[in-house]
Amino acid sequence: MTITYTHNGYWQITDIIGGYLKTRTYLDYEQREAAEAFANEFGLDLTEELLPCQTCGVGVPADTWLEELEFCVQCQHNYFKEEN
């Protein structure tokens, strides 16, 4: 599953399902809502989908990836770590 934010303000989600490329575009959705709508339409389980962390590239379950702003949990903690 690939989730991108277009320059027009849409969330575009693409995945290969049953050997076919499926793409859907969502306007007026939060990223998590768009991913859930896509998953519901195609009967996907977001806990089984792995998306790459934007920092280290490790596979992260899609529900965690969406919640942690495209990071794995460790990179999210490192990114937002408060340093005095």
Same domain, 29 and 1: yes
Q: Which range of residues forms the domain containing residue 14?
A: 1-44
pLDDT tens, residue by residue, 31-69: 889 989 999 999 988 877 888 888 888 888 888 888 888
5 and 33 within one domain: yes
Shared domain check, 54 and 79: yes
Note whether 34 and 52 are same-domain residues.
no
SS3 6: coil
Instruction: Name the nearest CA neighbour of 4 among 76, 54, 77, 63.
Output: 54
Instruction: Yes or no: say if 59 and 50 are a contact pair by the CB < 8 Å rule.
Output: yes
Does one domain contain both 17 and 36? yes
Judgement on whether residues 22 and 51 belong to the same structural domain of the protein: no
- Residue 36 CA to residue 45 CA, distance in Å, equals 9
Query: pLDDT tens across 2-19, in order?
Result: 888 899 999 999 999 999
Domain count, the chain: 2
Pair 61, 38 in one domain: no
